[in-house]
Amino acid sequence: DAGVIQSPRHEVTEMGQEVTLRCKPISGHNSLFWYRQTMMRGLELLIYFNNNVPIDDSGMPEDRFSAKMPNASFSTLKIQPSEPRDSAVYFCASSLRRSDTGELFFGEGSRLTVL
Amino acid sequence: AQSVTQLDSQVPVFEEAPVELRCNYSSSVSVYLFWYVQYPNQGLQLLLKYLSGSTLVKGINGFEAEFNKSQTSFHLRKPSVHISDTAEYFCAVTFNTDKLIFGTGTRLQVFP
C-alpha cells in the first residue's frame, strides 16, 4: 500500500513568492496533520483535520499560512508571501481516528528553502 | 497543558552497548505515550506505544520502554545497539489520540 505522499520533496524559492505544499494521505485514513520541523523549534503541529474539517489550527504561525482539505485524498498547505524564516521541513501525516493505536503515518516531508 | 521533555539532545554510544533515551511528560489527565524514530531524510515512524495495560512495552528493532506513572516518565531502552540505530528519536504524548505533542528529539549516534 502507498504511504503518505508529499510533493514537492524539495522547494527553493525567493522571499515573497507563494509556496504550495501538497499531501495525499493513506486511503481510508480520516485524520490529517501538518507538522513543521526546524532545528530551533523541533516538530510543531500546525493544523489538523478530521473528516476534511479543520479541528485545530492554533499552531499556524500567522495569516500567511493557510491549509485546505477539499476531499479525503488531498490537502494543501500554502504560504503567501513566503519569508526566509519559513525555511523548514514540512511533514504531512495521516491516521485512522478513533482507532486504538493512535499511530500517525508520516510522509517523507517537503524541504522548503526561502532565500 | 500537556508537554514532553527529552532531556538529552544527543546520546553518543558505541556499538553493542546499552542505551537509554529519557522522556518525561507533564499532564493532568491520563495519557498515551509514543516513541517515534526518524532516519536521515525520512519521515517519522512508530517504534512503540503505551496505551494501557503492561507498563513495559516492546517495539520494533529490539527497543522497549517502560511507563512510570509516579515519575511521569517513558524512557526508551535497548540492551545492545547497532550502527543502523543511528537516528533521531522522538517521544510524544496525547490524551485523545487526535493530537500528538512531540518532544524536541534525541539524536542517537552509534559509533563502531
Tens digit of pLDDT for each residue in A10-53? 999 999 999 999 999 999 999 999 999 998 888 999 999 999 99
Interface test with B, best of A104, A105, A108 (most B CBs within 10 A): A104
- Reading the block at residue B66, the C-alpha cell is 517502560
Say how far apart CA A91 and CA B72 lie, in whole Å. Answer: 28
Of A31, A102, A109, the CB nearest to B34: A102
- Within 8 A by CB and 6+ apart from A19, the residues are A11, A13, A78, A79, A80, A82, A86, A112, A114
pLDDT above 90 covers a percentage of chain B that reads: 71
Three-state secondary-structure class, residue B21: strand
- Return the closest-CA partner of residue B34 out of B23, B20, B18: B23
Q: Is A100 exposed, middle or buried (0-12, 13-18, 19+ CB in 10 A)?
A: exposed
Of B34, B99, B105, the CB nearest to A56: B99
Q: What is the pLDDT of residues B26-78, one digit of tens each?
A: 877 778 899 999 998 888 999 999 988 888 999 999 999 999 989 999 999 99
Say how far apart CA A39 and CA B88 lie, in whole Å. Answer: 12
Interface test with B, best of A29, A41, A43 (most B CBs within 10 A): A43
